[in-house]
Amino acid sequence: MSHSVAVRCEDCAAVCCRLEVVCLTDSGVPRHFTTRDAWGRVVLRRLDDGWCAALDRDTLRCRIYEQRPLVCREFEMGGPDCLAEREQAWHNS
């Protein structure tokens, strides 16, 4: 995968939506999208296939975008973390 390819929401593979997201602050995430992990932390719930429960499967867009956790807000589209996750997903496919 070339890192020179522009990353845009329109063609995003939403690989970040498979990562564990800890809700570090209260951003208003609806409770039915959260659960507690083994350490008691509030995390975004993931469905049986590993994808975030807040991900709209038809559009690959976040259904709680305005209330998304801080970690999601800081995960910059096309930033180093995004590119690393896309690269790893590409190698695993």
Between the alpha carbon of residue 59 and those of residues 12, 55, 88, the distances in Å are 10, 8, 22
pTM to 2 decimals?
A: 0.75
Q: Which of 65, 69, 62 is CA-nearest to residue 35?
A: 69
pLDDT string in tens for the chain (93-residue length): 444 556 665 666 677 888 899 998 888 999 999 999 999 999 999 999 899 999 998 888 899 999 999 999 888 888 888 888 888 877 776
